[in-house]
Homo-oligomer: A and B are copies of this chain.
Amino acid sequence: MSDVTATYRVPSGPDLHKKAEGIALGLTVGSWTNLPALEQSQLQQHKGEVVSVTDDGSQATLTIRYPAANFSPDIPAILTTVFGKLSLDGTIKLVDLSFSESLAQQFPGPTYGIDGIRKQLGVTDRPLVMSIFKGMIGKGIDEFESQLKAQARGGIDLVKDDEILFDNPLTPFEYRVTIGKRVLDQVERETGRRVLYAVNLSGRTYELRDKARRAAELGASALLFNVFAYGLDVLQALAEDPEIPLPIMAHPAVSGALTASPEYGIANQVLLGKLLRAAGADLVLFPSPYGNVALAQEETTAIASALTEQAPYRSAFPVPSAGIHPGLVPQLIADFGVHSVINAGGGIHGHPDGAAAGATAFRQAVDAVQNGLTLEDAAREQKELSAALNLWGVPQ
């Protein structure tokens, strides 16, 4: 039977079986034991079920199965069922969520995913390197063009808008797309390398599809999307739209409001991992474990696993972000593998010789690891990497 299974973390305590039973019934058929047998048989297929209750004396988990017969196969209905009223009911965190096979097939997963993006870029065997525009608010299209050129020429694979750059008169969305395409086409002619630029898709929800379709027509190569400022179902609609044939990069903006508490909300691996992948994100940004804005290592690993392991969807690229500099590349590859994106802002723009050199330093660091060299050894021959390591060091 098609269903969704949710696991909750709650405080340890007595009566947890009763609590779990109350949830399983309360969020499905309402009541059970006092119902007449005929009604019970009618409602059997709608009744929630307690799968397991565990209690280690400090924390407990409740796992509950909700029949898919109770909801339409969309994320808003599923979230409302498994963590609607329940999100308001005391100390409780949604820590896992899984769809049965037939339910999972109602969701698209990534349209491109890791393999599709690698194919677009012609890069098969190393982590991708991504960078972010720096301080574009209040700046004009010339600044946009020169920043994009420097990053792309330096050897970056993907460049993204800052998530706080919205449609604006100085660098309007369509200009960014059009000029972005021109710059990246030029860099491809010069270097033979294709670079993707993720333009921030923003504005009113009901305008997004037309705007994204228009971007595709104008030659956009990717979209950045602040999913949690909108809704997961909007991401899904963009991902499913055949007239929006673009990889979608999900930004974690606002998600901390849902994930940051250990006691309440939704676990990162569920929200940024399973749900973003099911809804169709091709790349997923999340705070790396290394910077100031950081997640615990085990959380970042759980997100990356949820994006890449198990059927039925394509894998999405994990993009650990914030606090990244070239000295961290060996650690990043050790922690997230070759099939990840190394994403830097300050670690590129802060390079002593500028953003192009910053991009080159990252590519040199990646090549060093791929070739089995230490960064220090590689830096002897490569001045961009050398300058980066002098500035940021290599964590031991």
Contacts and interface: CB of A to CB of B under 8 A. Distances in A.
A88 B204 contact: no
Interface of A: 27-31, 42-43, 45-46, 69-72, 74-77, 79-81, 83-91, 94, 134-135, 137-138, 163-164, 166-168, 202-206, 209, 226, 229-231, 233-234, 236-237, 251-258, 260-261, 263-266, 287, 292-293, 295
Contacts of A251: 84
B85 A29 contact: no
A69 B166 CA distance: 10
B87 A255 contact: yes
A300 to B, nearest CB: 12
Contacts of A89: 256, 292-293
Contacts of A229: 75-77, 79-80, 84, 231
Nearest to A234: B205
Contact of A264 (B81, B88, B94, B257): B257
A337 B81 CA distance: 32
Contacts of A255: 87-88
Given A138-B43, A226-B84, A231-B231, A71 B260 contact: no
Indicate how many identical chains form the complex: 2
A84 B254 contact: yes
A252 B204 CA distance: 22
A10 B31 CA distance: 42
A83 B205 CA distance: 19
A137 B76 contact: no
Most B Cβ at <10 Å: residue of A138, A163, A209, A292: A138
Given A84-B229, A231-B229, A164 B27 contact: yes
A292 B86 CA distance: 11
9 contacts: A43-B138, A45-B138, A71-B166, A72-B167, A72-B202, A75-B229, A76-B203, A85-B164, A94-B257
Most B Cβ at <10 Å: residue of A42, A76, A231, A292: A76
A253 B295 CA distance: 27
A253 B80 contact: yes
Lowest 7 A-B CB distances belong to which pairs? A84-B253, A87-B256, A30-B135, A88-B256, A261-B261, A76-B229, A46-B138
Contacts of A28: 137, 164
Given A46-B137, A70-B166, A205-B205, 11 more contacts: A77-B202, A79-B254, A84-B163, A87-B256, A88-B255, A230-B233, A257-B265, A260-B263, A261-B263, A261-B264, A261-B265
A121 B31 CA distance: 33
B30 A206 contact: no
Most B Cβ at <10 Å: residue of A163, A233, A257: A257
Given A70-B166, A231-B230, A260 B253 contact: no
Contact of A253 (B74, B87, B134): B87
A210 B225 CA distance: 25
B29 A137 contact: yes
A257 B46 CA distance: 25
Contacts of A256: 83, 86-89, 264
Contacts of A205: 76, 205, 231, 233-234, 237
A204 B74 CA distance: 6
Nearest to A262: B261
Contacts of A167: 72
B135 A88 contact: no
